[in-house]
Structure 1
Amino acid sequence: MSLMTSLLRMRAATTGDALRASRLRHLHLSDRPLMMLTLKQTGPAARPLAVMLGTDPHRPQLLVAPPSGSTTPMLAALADTVTGHIDARRQHTEHLPATASKPARQRYADAPQILVPNPQTVQHLKALGDDLRFRTVDDQMPTSRSVQRLGHWLTYLTDRADIPGSAALIPMTDFLGMHWITGQSPLEDEDLATLLAWIDPPRHAASGRDAAQQAEDPALHRSAGPATDAAFDNDQLAPLFHAFARADEGDRTRILHDLDRMLTAYLQPTWERMWQAYTLLQALPEAHSTARRWDHERTAFSDECSHLTHDGRPRPAREQAVAAAVRLARTERTAAAFAAERAADDPFVRAELRTTGEAFGGTVTAIDPERIVHGPSGRARWRPRFTLSTKDPVHMEPGQLLASHLRRNARYRLGEVTYEDDATLVELEITAGMGRVISPTHAVLPTAGDFLVLTQAPDHYQMPELPAREHTPWTHGGPPHDHTDDSGEDEAGQ
């Protein structure tokens, strides 16, 4: 927790109301997202109890699994709704021209977005996807293929949820916590009811703190899932399950109807809170870089559809070492880019980073606007250099690429850092955004007295070079250990 976050949390605790931690919304919100609430039964991690979902706040769909027996009919209905939402995003495409690294291709004009209450629901959907995508397809049962396809898409969506800045599957508590700071602990912020009470208390509440205390009342509080409350399990759910096990066929129909009514009443408050949170977030102005990240989301969705059409094999249960390393590196790069873009867009984020040394602001004291350097080939390059005086901590290494929200196309390379008694002098070289020597863009140049805030550049993190499979040891997913060795060591030892 940063110094700024700690300060805001203490102020919120003092005033009793949540405080804004971000001026802009940094994730895309669809006009018709698919809301999804899940409850799971005790026992196997992936066995569902109920799912409430839909795109209309006034007409949710409730799917309930029987207390015992097959869950396939319920999963088939869930597959129809989820895949229907996904297929509806595939109606229109756009043409992407060829680039230096990619050929011309088509991309869908939209992508699916599913909103869930909390990260625990994401983990439940991940376990459900792992279970469903490896199920055998029975041609005699048409629903088996749709259930397996549901597993494929749940795995894709939960994988996207691990990528910072992705908006395919979003836990609402994380989304709200990105933009508001409450006076309760981060652990308490994982409860949607209390978090929303702090942020948007009802009119009769004296403050967000009072509303949160009322929301914690055991007589009124209901978990947002996927686990249910112990009191609800013992007092209401367990008696119905026992009655179902002892009942005959006619009574079971009545019990299932009672179970539907009970679970609807249980999930309805969370359903309404989800749409309340959606309305709050939709009212925030969207950050500049959000559209670019949604473009990447549409590209990833288009690639996944292409994979499903031309290959269709389920993702492996466990990644090989190289694939896992690539995934980790890509996640790190995306996280760094997302953090840098948020800082470039949002003054609130920049203020927080200045307290941690990941950004600094200062006044330009000197500038060398005509500086020319010569590269290895002898070609002249225009590389202006200037000095900035700051009182912020500077915890960056020389050579780090930086950016400024005032000049988004410019890049600044951190040079020598000199610590003085009352300030820190930072030497910076402009490396991009200023045109060429024969046609320079002088608008990128600061002038003495300008105040600049510099953050890490979105493109500062580069993917590491990883070996091809044939050059990877068999212990890490490369060729088998009895693979022919071309190094000549065997011959040398004979």
Structure 2
Amino acid sequence: MSLLGTLARLEAVRSGRAEPLATVRHRHLSDRPMVVVPLTAAGESGAPLAVMLGTDRLAPRLHIVPQPLNRTLRFDHLAGFAADLLPYLESFGAEVEQVEGSEKDPETGEKSQVLRELCADAPQVIVPNGAGVHHLALLGRSTRFRRTAEDADPGPYPAPARVPLLGRWLTHLTDRAQVPGSSLLLPMTGLLTRHWATGQSQLEDQHLAALLAWHPRPAALRAGAPVDGRTVDRPTGDGATVDGPTGAAAAELAESARDSHGQLLHPPAGPATDPRFDELVLAPAIGRYDAAVTALRDAGPQERERAQRYVDQAVGALTDALAGILLPTWQDVWHGLDLLRTLPPAAHLAERWEGDRWSYTGHRDRLAAGEPPQPRQDDAVTAARKLAQREREQVRVDVQEALDDPLAMAERRLAGEAFTGEVVEVLPDHDTSGRTPKPRPLVTVRTADHPHADLGREAHRTHTATPQKAVIAAVDQEAGTITLRVMSGMGRRKEPEPGSLPEPGERVTFTLFELTARQSAPLPEPDDTPWTHGGPPGSGDHARAAAGAPPVSGGPPAPAAPPTSDASEEWE
């Protein structure tokens, strides 16, 4: 944690309210996001229990698994999930724009201009916290290879036709979520903690209700909301508010307050359930469902109608119970979106969102081309490319946030990586070592910051029309001045172009880090990978390993083939 972040948390403890960490919004927010609140069954990692999703905060859709141990019911649940999510994801693929680009001929190496399709917009999925992202990743991993009833050899427990496609989309979204600055799949807790600091620990910030308790909000939430066309009541309390108590007291109340039946007033849905809810509500409800299903199976012709009513009643009771613990988190996610929309968007948001649009377009095209699902494991070259690309994106996001937000730049100034001050003198000077003299003016800046200003170190002036690099020529600690020799960004004339240099009295900011991310060293193509890192792909064993099957020639399995999902990261 940075020094400024620590100070903001201490101030939040003193004031009892969340303190800002940013003056602008650093993540893109869609006009029509898809909010997904998943719920998992206890005792089995990634086992779906329910999911609430939708693009309308007043009309959420709910899908449940009455018996999580039943594979058929589990796949029926995923089919319903896919029926609601996939149309939203696919709806952005029709409207495109033509973008000029260059393409390299693999034989001659010559570049030619080409037109590429870029989707005009892309979907955005919002989940409550980071555990929700992990759960969607597990669902994608467990479903994208599933055989369906339409396959020639469906095998046991065939999945509905759209379930593997859902798995491929979830895998792509969760892979993209690991790219710094991406906004296709976002956890609400991560969004809020990037822009505000609370007086609690980072672990406690993963409880969305406790996190929101540090922000002022209405005194009470609505007791019911329509779910699939009907209204489900749930208990409410003042634990989710901070109108009276401080943020710490309100957060503690949101985490622990219970009703007269011992149930949490604000269940976390994170995506695990509360153990007391499992014991007192969920387990008996599933038991009644199992008993009703058994009675229906054993019922005679005259009793089947009544037995079916008992099954429907058991499913309805389960639906009401699960909706009651999902609705508070559903409303919390939308409240978090309201808070984030109060911040103006950062200047570089459109640029990063264009990268997400390229990622979405690339995955859409791979699905249309009939490419196989993403493999379970990356080969060495693909893993290295992933890592290098994400490192570049992290550097780019850090630089862009510092340029967009004075509070982010203040963290760099406190760390000695930048300084801001007033220009006190500009002296013309020239480099006469070459054939023609080049302008190398000296700019002296008086600053109260204490940067790591070593002589000869490069510095970069921010917020200029063209990149402007300088070199530190002198440092006077007693006077608090730094003299820089400007090396570029002044035009090609013998004298600097008007406006390219700061004027005395003007406030300027120089960074000691580069304003663009450097490209990493080129990596070999997968075909040129040495055998020590997986060997040339394309063999039968390699292709079988990509699908997760054992080799047919004996010996250890070959490494997986390069995943097609991460080619989207190269589109940027």
What TM-score, normalized to structure 2? 0.77
Q: Residue in 1 aligned with 2:115?
A: 104
CA deviations on 1:171-223 (whole Å, 9 max, x unpaired) are 00010111111111221111110111102344442443343232123412311
Counterpart for residue 214 of structure 1: 253
Distance in 2 between the 1:169 and 1:373 partners?
A: 54
Once the two structures are overlaid, the 10-residue window that deviates more, 102-111 or 451-460, is: 451-460
Q: Which residue of 2 aligns with 1:118?
A: 129
Deviation at 1:303, TM superposition (A): 1.2
SS at match of 1:163: coil
Superposition TM-score, scaled by structure 1 size: 0.89
CA change 1:300–1:374 in 2 (3 A) is farther
Give the Å deviation of 1:302. 0.8
Structure 1 residues 150 and 13, CA, compared in 2 at 3 Å: closer, same or farther?
same
The CA deviation at 1:74 is 1.2
CA radius of gyration, larger in: 2
Residue by residue over 1:45-93, the C-alpha shift from the partner in whole angstroms, topping out at 9 and shown as x without a partner, is 2221000000000000000012132211111111121110011112311
Structure 1 equivalent of residue 92 of structure 2: 89
1:385, distance to aligned residue in structure 2 (A): 4.7
- The 1-side partners of 2:334 and 2:289 are apart by 34
Q: Distance in 1 between matches of 2:28 and 2:87?
A: 21
Per the alignment, residue 333 of structure 1 pairs with 392
Q: Which amino acid aligns with 1:89?
A: F
Contact 2:472-2:482 at 8 Å conserved across structures: no
Distance 1:410 1:348 in 2: 22
The correspondence of residues 173-212 of structure 1 with structure 2, limited to 5 A, is 173-203=189-219, 204-212=243-251
Q: Does 1:288 align with 2:344?
A: no
CA contact (8 A) 2:462 2:510 kept: yes
Q: What whole-Å deviation, never above 9, does each CA across 1:222-268 have from its counterpart, x for those lacking one?
A: 11321111111111111222333333233333211111010011111
Q: What's the offset of the Cα at 1:17?
A: 1.0
**Equivalent of residue 473 in structure 1, options 509, 522, 530:** 530
Instruction: Give identity over the alignment, percent.
Output: 37
How far residue 272 of structure 1 moved from its aligned partner, in angstroms, is: 0.8
2:316: which partner in 1? 257
The amino acid across from 1:351 in the alignment is: A
Which of 495, 507, 521 is the equivalent residue of 1:464? Answer: 521
Instruction: Tell me, yes or no, if structure 1 residue 47 matches structure 2 residue 58.
Output: no
Measured in 1, the distance between the counterparts of 2:342 and 2:358 equals 26
Query: Structure 1 361/93 Cα, relative in aligned 2: closer, same or farther at 3 Å?
Result: same
Aligned counterparts of 2:200 and 2:90: Cα–Cα separation in 1: 41
Is the counterpart of residue 223 in structure 1 residue 279 in structure 2? no
Farther off after superposition, 456-465 or 65-74 = 456-465
Counterpart of 1:487 in structure 2 is: none
Structure 1 residue matching 2:214: 3-state secondary structure:
helix
Residues 49 and 356 from structure 1, CA distance in 2 versus in 1: closer, same or farther, beyond 3 angstroms? Answer: same
1:491 alignment partner in structure 2: none
- 2:451 matched residue in structure 1: 394
Q: Give 1:103 shift.
A: 2.4
Q: Provide the rounded CA distance (Å) in 1 between the counterparts of 2:530 and 2:4.
A: 46
CA contact (8 A) 1:357 1:394 kept: yes
Deviations 1:289-311 (A, max 9, x none): 11111111111111111111114
The one-character-per-residue Cα deviations of 1:85-107 (angstroms, maximum 9, x if unpaired) are 01111231111123587621111
* Contact 2:53 2:61 survives alignment (8 Å): yes
Are the equivalent residues in 2 in contact too, given 1:202–1:211 (CA < 8 A)? no
Q: Distance in 2 between matches of 1:313 and 1:458?
A: 39
**3-state DSSP of counterpart to 1:198:** coil
Does residue 1:350 correspond to 2:409, yes or no? yes
Paired residue for 2:563? none
Match of 2:229 in 1: none
Pick which of 256-265 and 390-399 moved more. Answer: 390-399
State the secondary structure of the residue aligned to 1:178.
Answer: helix
Unaligned runs of 5+ in 2: 104-110, 220-242, 259-264, 297-306, 540-572
Determine the structure 2 residue equivalent to 1:486: none
Give 1:60's aligned residue.
60
Tell me the amino acid that sits aligned with residue 99 of structure 2.
L
Report if aligned partners of 1:129, 1:153 keep a CA contact under 8 Å in 2: yes
Q: Distance in 2 between matches of 1:345 and 1:162?
A: 22
RMSD of aligned residue pairs (Cα, Å): 2.7
Which ranges of structure 1 fall in alignment gaps of 5 or more residues? 483-494
| Rounded Cα–Cα distance in structure 2 between residues aligned with 1:144 and 1:108 | 28
Q: Secondary structure at the match of 1:38?
A: strand
| Letter paired with 2:289 | F
Structure 1 letter corresponding to 2:84: T
Q: Contact conserved, 1:222 with 1:229, CA < 8 A, in 2?
A: yes
Give yes or no for contact 1:361–1:451 (8 Å, CA) kept in 2.
Answer: yes
Structure 1 Cα separation of the partners of residues 428 and 40 of structure 2: 64
